[in-house]
Amino acid sequence: MKSVSIIIPCYNYEKLVIKKVKKLIRKIKSHKIKYEFIIVDDCSKDDTFKKLKENFFSNKNILVVKNSINRGKSYSIRKGIKISKYNHIILIDCDLTYFEKIDHIIKLMKKNVDFIAVNRRLKASRLTNKTFSLYQLIRHFIGQFISQIIKNLLKLKIEACDTQAGLKGFKKIPILKRTKFISNRFFFDLELFFLFINQNRKVEFIPVKYEISKDSSIKIFDIKNFLIIVELYKVILKCRNLK
């Protein structure tokens, strides 16, 4: 692997986005490979897009684009992939979750692994929270439950399923361009993961230490949860039909 496209979806992150992107640039430069950053702002309500343009407008390796309306994380990632120019892709959340595993991702990509992702559900992964609020406990068990549902309904022969962790690397395999993805908001990661599994591609998972955030844009009692369930159902149904 001599080049990589880094795709970063972001939304309302003006306070830290510049610091995080510069940190990621230093990391990628240390590997001495060609790179491009594609940062997709999902129509943030704050000055995220403005700060990104001000700081990186003269950097030819960084492309900052903005959705005309808020379309969702999945749409933003798909947009980034579509305009990327290199054959290896790294997806990472703008808060750089699991940043310490980027070296491992690149190492495996250089060994021709087709799809790599951090996986919080592996036995070797470790939850680092020492105390939990009720909200954190509910989030944890919902995450475990959804992962098990996905694994069982799609009959995945893997140790554990974790499609939503925010760091992945993969190749642009030929079928990727021809595939019509249906997720705009929450579950593109699942569609992408299943595509590689269904194609019998070489897939590897990386165990991580992780914590459950005390806060999230997803609330326990929120109408948005109904939309999440509906999209998950549609994606699982689509994947089952592909088997």
Structural domain tally of the chain? 1
Residue 221 scores a pLDDT above 70: no
Confidence of residue 219 (pLDDT cuts 50, 70, 90): low
Q: Structural domain of residue 170, as residue ranges?
A: 3-242
pLDDT in tens, 113-135: 999 999 999 999 999 887 878 87
- Work out the average pLDDT over 5-12: 97
Q: How far is CA 42 from the centre of its chain?
A: 14
> How much is the pLDDT for 218?
56
CATH number for the domain that contains residue 206: 3.90.550.10
Q: Provide the pLDDT for residue 91.
A: 97
pLDDT tens readout for residues 34-58 = 999 999 999 999 999 999 999 999 9
pLDDT tens, residue by residue, 22-38: 999 999 999 999 999 99
Give the global pTM. 0.91
State how far Cα 186 lies from the chain centre. 10
Structure tokens at 227: 């939309």
At residue 209's C-alpha, the angle toward residues 208 and 211, to 5°, is 125
Residue 62: the pLDDT is: 97
